């Protein structure tokens, strides 16, 4: 990196794995100093500046890491266990345990989670303006009525914090299976394409129409795919 001045909140986001909003909050709350003086919103720094977060120096040069992880069902994405639910950090190698998740999957969901210490990367992957496509395998407790599928895909469904709208197609396994049996649940299987990321959005959308999601498994996030990663495994990726 050259010695051109950069905005403090951008620097903190990249070095600490924070969002820009979290970086601004850290500055406003007095957690950041520049050359032993309290930092202010809008400050700029260069490599000669001594930036501290809670009295610990934040190095100007750092090495970023990016990994894909297959989250199993039953694990939460926070650093702390929630009740009896363990955290996915218990499954990560120690060298990756400082990384932060890029978005989340709820405890009852599985599949692809990205982790990084690059806040700028996390911001670009999760902010709605970038419209990163996320793909999920979804199973419902009963087949989705064609009218309801059209409602979700074409008009959206009100779920309390706004209208939820996403594309739904039948799972190709369902369409190609020559031995479909009711007990397989194949007739209830769908692929969902989502560009938003509201809390439990897919589950709440189907619930608003009287369905229960019995499986929610993310297989793609932006250009990154789950591939052959087994539950609990991780792999290094390139940004």
One domain, residues 140 and 169: yes
SS3 223: coil
Tell me the residue range of the domain where 51 lies: 6-57
SS3 33: strand
pLDDT digits (tens, 9 = 90+) for 85-95: 999 999 999 99
**Token pair belonging to 2:** 């050259």
Selecting among 35, 36, 106, 184, the annotated active-site residue is 106
One domain, residues 82 and 142: no
pLDDT digits (tens, 9 = 90+) for 178-187: 344 444 447 8
The structural domain count of the chain equals 3
- Identify whether 1 is part of a domain: no
What is the band of 173 on the pLDDT scale with cuts at 50, 70, 90? Answer: low
pLDDT digits (tens, 9 = 90+) for 84-132: 899 999 999 999 998 999 999 999 999 999 999 888 888 899 988 899 9
**Token pair belonging to 104:** 């989340």
Distant-in-sequence, close-in-space partners of 167: CB < 8 Å, separation ≥ 6: 153, 192, 193
- Identify whether 194 is part of a domain: yes
One domain, residues 120 and 157: no
Distant-in-sequence, close-in-space partners of 111: CB < 8 Å, separation ≥ 6: 70, 71, 105, 136, 137, 216, 217, 218, 219, 226
One domain, residues 147 and 119: no
Q: Is the pTM of this model over 0.85?
A: no
- Identify whether 203 is part of a domain: yes
Active site residue 106: yes
Question: In angstroms, what CA-CA distances link 112 with 49, 97, 220?
Answer: 38, 17, 7
């Amino acid at each position: 990196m050259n010695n051109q001045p950069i905005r403090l909140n951008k620097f903190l986001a990249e070095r600490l794995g924070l969002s820009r909003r979290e970086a601004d909050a850290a500055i406003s709350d007095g957690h950041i100093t520049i050359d032993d003086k309290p930092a202010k919103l809008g400050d700029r720094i260069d490599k000669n500046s001594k930036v501290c977060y809670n009295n610990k120096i934040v190095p100007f040069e750092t090495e970023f890491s990016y990994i894909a992880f297959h989250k199993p069902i039953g694990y939460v994405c926070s650093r702390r266990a929630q009740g009896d639910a363990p955290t996915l950090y218990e499954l990560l190698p120690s060298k990756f345990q400082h990384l932060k998740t890029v978005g989340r999957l709820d405890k009852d969901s599985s599949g692809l989670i990205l982790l990084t210490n690059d806040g700028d990367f996390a911001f670009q992957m999760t902010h709605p303006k970038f419209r990163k496509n996320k793909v999920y395998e979804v199973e419902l407790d009963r087949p989705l009525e064609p009218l309801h599928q059209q409602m979700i895909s074409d008009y959206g469904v009100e779920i309390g914090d706004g209208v939820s709208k996403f594309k739904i197609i039948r799972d190709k396994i369902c369409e190609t299976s020559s031995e479909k049996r009711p007990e397989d649940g194949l007739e209830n299987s769908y692929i969902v394409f989502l560009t938003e990321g509201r809390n439990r959005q897919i589950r709440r959308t189907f619930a608003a129409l009287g369905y229960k999601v019995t499986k929610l498994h993310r297989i793609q996030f932006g250009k990154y795919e789950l591939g052959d990663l087994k539950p609990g495994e991780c792999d290094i990726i390139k940004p």
